[in-house]
């Protein structure tokens, strides 16, 4: 088959949608190299992000000729027809306008409904643009992939009648996290991973740390970037006199991030909303338990291998942190972890993708 991909994020985004796009594309190339894979991107961006993919014999990279600001949203359809692509995967919440009239089948990967659940994270214009794109993509897609059961329910809630063409296919961790040694039992720090914004609820983490006696308080490493919320967080850390206990990092390599996971007591992720929550899976894959909120997709990803709290309950979070400072408690949460991780196996997920594609082509 000839399979096309929306590859803008693959070449431009180091984390998030970019990491997702690279992981699934690389896995499909590894497990199903006999298909022809076509990556469509308005520009290359950082080729080093995807050199293993773009240099693969089964892969072709396509860009628009000249200045083409609307190419990804509309003009790309002509190129898909030229290249005889049979199915196009919209890996980042959108599909090009006109694909429904092209004869090319389409699969939409809809990662979350953040713009509906947390509209204030977007200005009014951006929110309107996102809604227009998502509404169109949901209506014309032959199939929709949701990364979790919870996100599938959110999609049906926001766009009634889509359940029949929505399939849940979980994510896998990027290759760098596979076949790594488990975490270090002498670990001393907690870890938070993700963009520093209101939805991630880092304020509750700081409040929880303030409840723990300094003599037994583990340090916290936050990996992520942010704007106003980050500045508010820094001021809160200073106000609670926790400056010596909290480190905020950004722009670290994947290898360094893997080490941060392995050295941690637990990943702390009390988010208000997640479509999947890949840091939870990354932590568990490396043998690190998690502390998560009890809403959206996080309990689904963590299974029985984390402590679940109400996302606004900083006292419960403080107690969870103290509980996991005990290595025996940590070991209990990691029992039977391999069985749970099987549902996120990269080969199985690739097979589910191919089976879905074959079912509509």
pLDDT in tens, the chain (361 residues): 999 999 999 999 988 999 999 999 999 999 999 999 999 999 988 767 787 898 899 999 999 987 788 899 999 999 999 999 999 999 999 999 999 999 999 999 999 999 999 888 888 999 999 999 999 999 999 999 999 999 999 999 999 999 999 999 999 999 999 977 666 656 689 999 999 999 999 999 999 999 999 999 999 999 999 999 999 999 999 999 999 999 999 889 999 999 999 999 999 999 999 999 999 999 999 999 999 999 899 999 999 999 999 999 999 999 999 999 888 888 999 999 999 999 999 999 999 999 999 999 9
pLDDT value, residue 135 = 97
- Give CA–CA dist 297/279, Å, rounded: 12
pLDDT value, residue 45 = 80
- Give CA–CA dist 355/359, Å, rounded: 6
Half-sphere exposure at residue 232, Cβ-oriented, CA atoms within 13 angstroms: 11
Q: Give the Cβ contact number of residue 29 at 10 Å.
A: 18
- Give CA–CA dist 233/225, Å, rounded: 12
- For the 176-343 domain, the top CATH level (class) is alpha beta
The 8-class DSSP code of residue 196 comes to B
Name the residue ranges covered by the structural domains of the chain: 2-172+345-360, 176-343
Q: How distant, in Å, are the alpha carbons of 70, 88, 121, 127 from that of 98?
A: 12, 12, 29, 22
- Give CA–CA dist 17/129, Å, rounded: 18
Token representation of residue 44: 């290359």
- Non-local (6+) Cβ contacts of 322 within 8 A are 212, 216
- Give CA–CA dist 210/276, Å, rounded: 29
Backbone angles phi, psi at 117, to 5 degrees: -80, -35
Q: Residue 78 in contact with residue 348, Cβ under 8 Å?
A: no
Note whether 2-172+345-360 and 176-343 share their fold: yes
- Give CA–CA dist 337/302, Å, rounded: 10
- For the 2-172+345-360 domain, the top CATH level (class) is alpha beta
List the alpha helices (DSSP H) in the chain.
Answer: 8-12, 17-31, 51-54, 76-82, 114-117, 124-140, 149-158, 202-210, 228-239, 254-262, 278-285, 298-302, 314-324, 327-333, 337-341, 346-360
From 60, 154, 69, select the one nearest 110 (Cα to Cα): 154
- Non-local (6+) Cβ contacts of 158 within 8 A are 113, 116
pLDDT value, residue 183 = 60
CB-count burial class (<10 Å; 0-12, 13-18, 19+) for 63: middle
pLDDT value, residue 122 = 87
249 three-class SS: strand
The 8-class DSSP code of residue 65 comes to S
Q: Going by DSSP bridges, is the β-strand pair 246-249/166-168 parallel, antiparallel, or unpaired?
A: unpaired
78 three-class SS: helix
Which residues, in sequence order, are bridge partners of residue 105? 87
């Amino acid at each position: 088959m000839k399979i096309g991909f929306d590859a803008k994020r693959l070449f431009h985004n180091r984390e998030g949608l970019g990491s997702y796009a690279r992981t699934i594309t690389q896995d499909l190339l590894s497990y199903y190299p006999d298909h022809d894979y076509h990556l469509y991107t308005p520009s290359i961006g950082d080729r080093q992000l995807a050199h293993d993919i773009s240099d693969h014999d089964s892969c072709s990279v396509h860009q628009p000729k000249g200045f083409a600001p609307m190419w990804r949203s509309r003009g790309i359809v002509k190129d898909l027809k030229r290249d005889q692509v049979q199915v196009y995967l919209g890996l980042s919440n959108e599909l090009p306008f006109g694909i429904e009239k092209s004869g090319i089948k389409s699969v939409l990967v809809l990662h979350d409904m953040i713009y509906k659940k947390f509209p204030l994270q977007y200005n009014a214009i951006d929110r309107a643009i996102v809604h227009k794109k998502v509404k169109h993509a949901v209506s014309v897609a032959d199939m929709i992939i949701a990364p979790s059961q919870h996100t599938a329910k959110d999609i049906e809630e926001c766009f009634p009648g889509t359940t029949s063409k929505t399939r849940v296919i979980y994510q896998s961790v990027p290759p760098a996290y596979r076949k790594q040694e488990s975490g270090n039992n002498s670990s001393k720090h907690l870890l938070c991973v993700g963009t520093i914004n209101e939805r991630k609820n880092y304020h509750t983490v700081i409040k929880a740390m303030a409840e723990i006696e300094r003599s037994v308080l583990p340090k916290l490493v936050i990996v992520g970037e942010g704007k106003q919320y980050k500045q508010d967080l820094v001021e809160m850390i200073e106000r609670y006199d926790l400056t010596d206990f909290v480190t905020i990092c950004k722009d670290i390599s994947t290898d360094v991030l893997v080490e941060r996971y392995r050295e941690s007591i637990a990943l702390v992720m009390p988010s208000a909303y997640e479509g999947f929550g890949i840091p939870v899976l990354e932590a568990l894959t490396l043998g690190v338990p998690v502390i998560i909120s009890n809403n959206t997709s996080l309990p689904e990803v963590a299974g029985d291998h984390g402590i679940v709290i109400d996302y606004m309950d900083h006292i419960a979070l403080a107690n969870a942190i103290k509980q996991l400072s005990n290595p025996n408690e940590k070991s209990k949460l990691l029992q039977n972890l391999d069985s749970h991780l099987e549902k996120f196996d990269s080969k199985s997920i690739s097979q589910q993708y191919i089976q879905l594609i074959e079912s509509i082509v």
